[in-house]
Chain A
């Protein structure tokens, strides 16, 4: 073997062969510890994402996974359960090679989250994994645990962190249940971790199509000049689900739609749609601009917010029960499963340009879209313009990911009739690679220390401040629930919010 010759001056500070080989996106050695490893999130999302990363050889060579949960079981049983989960929920073909690369590095410990002795066992196991796999004391802790367990767990981890290697904390939503609890949690976390060590997941930000919204706005010269109150009439954002609460009654009946989706996914979509161009695509620059939008959101008046709860109805021809008939839900529950609101971003770009938002369960179909409706032409030039709708740019976040633009086109033949037609861009039609799952991107980014697609403490607090203000108004009356049948687009009053505008 040779090491160097004298033909060219060799670089000694870094690997000169790495350039152009996409080697830089691989994280440093580390152990990923999943608290809540026996839960649904680990089974449906986290392990399938880890498998997808292993399949693409994106995990570090020196890597290990430690699952921690209350359920008693040996490591072998946990690994077998995760294999089953990967086979069921993974997006890639199952290969023994990729799976073994992950399974051989996976361990499990049964422990109560608040149990000091259990936490000591976790630390001992992590140290053993460092020895076995060369992970150098680098730690990623993934807290996929219920909100009640979060504070104690953060405290326990914080007390036991050492100066060896780096430590990062991935925190699942919900981050608190109101402004006060979110602030307390932020303060608690900040005692042991700096902001750049904390990765608060909002998995919507990990979706390629959400990131494409930034590409659409800031990589295309034609949109940004018209992306303001002078040309846009209003924006509609929809996060619709056709499914019900799927065995999540204990959480959902406490949280409701406003804490489950509005506080996080919905407000992040508003922020990304309304933000100013960041100076660059770094974590701080992007999050600074999102924060400005969240700060500029005015509290909607009570008559600008509609809440709903689904009653019995039909989804795809099948009868489904009402929310109050779902297992685990009280028969008189006043929890909302639908929220629509008229939001105003009070700044120069968006003054008097409403953002109509709606989220809900048991709506006719699963759909997340951002529809930007432009102002009509100032003067109707052509005959029978009644069929002509304004230009609408629709960003389809899911499903059928892509972008479509409604434009007016002349109907062939005599006369000058104009009708609305759609130009469609479909992700699946233009790019040969499948879209990665949001969790793949987010777990990899956390291991790399890139926080661009995670929510910062001050964003979370602004989101909760708005939600608290809306919820405070709700306490003054008792809604007549249920007020929309499953399989419809929510209460009539929600439709009227937009109709009034028109």
Chain B
């Protein structure tokens, strides 16, 4: 894992998009003066919608992500009851590259959308997206799939990343998620978490269990997978932990999802089956 060599930061409680863009350029240029060139080899824009109750968890997930995905991350913190203003914190993380002079740089822009700004996040995020690169939207918590905010953000991204383990109402909520599949490619971190479990089950084929024990989201998805792939229906039993797969870091799970660029038909079929289960 690359080490953070340096962080540059810029703050403004009442920012404009032009000022944020200027800060991104200035911070990078400031650090490169007198040293080797700093590389911004971007591969994607990572957009995150983070309601207040998810701010701490989002910070944990973000830690270490920049080292693996040289990207621009836009963190959108809606504060509908706050003052009508755009508050910005721009920070550039410079990572060491083994054997190479200079650093690799990842850009993080934290945007607090106060008052009415929280209702129009797309108009703030759109000018800050890296042109012609994929845009991933990580939606923390349970999305209100019918809300205008969800609609405007989803319509500007290539992939929606959720973690249905954060939702209180699975498996019934999957029915609403399934409706999004033709609108945007979807990744579910809960599904990614079950990968070692699914590999073990696939390795045991044609023998399969008649009962799955684990957290509700993950067991529902694995049960949906068995039903959609193999025509097998199994019983579910609730437990706090997965039987296989341990407790991977949130940033690792999100990082894996940011490598996926196409629709996952196996996942979609599993979710559809889970929604009717």
Contact = CB atoms under 8 A, between A and B. Distances in A.
Interface of A: 1-10, 15-21, 23, 399-400, 424-426, 428-432
A7 B104 contact: no
B229 interface: yes
A431 to B, nearest CB: 8
A5 B233 contact: yes
Contacts of A15: 202, 205-206
Contacts of B228: 8
Given A15-B202, A16-B205, A424-B39, 15 more contacts: A1-B210, A2-B209, A6-B231, A8-B228, A10-B231, A15-B205, A17-B229, A19-B229, A23-B199, A23-B202, A399-B99, A426-B97, A428-B98, A429-B70, A430-B70
Nearest to A16: B229
Contacts of B226: 17
Contact of A17 (B41, B69, B201): B201
Contacts of A425: 41
18 contacts: A4-B231, A5-B233, A7-B231, A10-B231, A15-B202, A15-B205, A17-B198, A18-B205, A19-B229, A21-B199, A399-B99, A426-B39, A426-B41, A426-B100, A426-B104, A429-B39, A429-B104, A430-B41
Interface in B186-205: 195, 198-199, 201-203, 205
- Interface of A, secondary structure class, is loop
Interface in B68-105: 68-70, 97-100, 104
Interface in B223-238: 225-234
A432 B104 CA distance: 12
Interface in B259-277: 264, 266-267
10 pairs of A and B residues whose beta carbons are closest in the complex: A432-B68, A8-B231, A17-B202, A429-B41, A20-B266, A430-B41, A429-B104, A16-B229, A15-B205, A7-B231
Given A1-B210, A426-B100, A430-B41, A21 B230 contact: no
Nearest to B205: A15
Q: How large is the interface on B (under 10, 10 to 19, 20 to 34, 35 or more residues)?
A: 35 or more
B229 to A, nearest CB: 5
Contacts of A17: 198, 201-202, 205, 225-226, 229-230
Given A4-B206, A429-B39, A400 B198 contact: no
A276 B168 CA distance: 56
Interface of B: 37, 39, 41, 43, 67-70, 97-100, 104, 195, 198-199, 201-203, 205-210, 225-234, 255, 264, 266-267
A224 to B, nearest CB: 19
A303 to B, nearest CB: 39
Given A9-B231, A21-B195, A432 B255 contact: yes
A400 B100 contact: yes
A20 B264 contact: yes
Contacts of A400: 99-100
A4 B227 CA distance: 10
A5 B87 CA distance: 56
B234 to A, nearest CB: 8
Contacts of A20: 264, 266-267
B259 to A, nearest CB: 8
B227 A8 contact: yes
B243 to A, nearest CB: 15
A146 B267 CA distance: 51
Given A8-B231, A17-B230, A426-B39, A3 B100 contact: no
Contacts of A3: 206-208
Given A19-B266, A20-B266, A432 B201 contact: no
B97 A429 contact: yes
A63 to B, nearest CB: 15
Contacts of A23: 199, 202-203
Contacts of B225: 17
A403 to B, nearest CB: 11
A61 B255 CA distance: 28
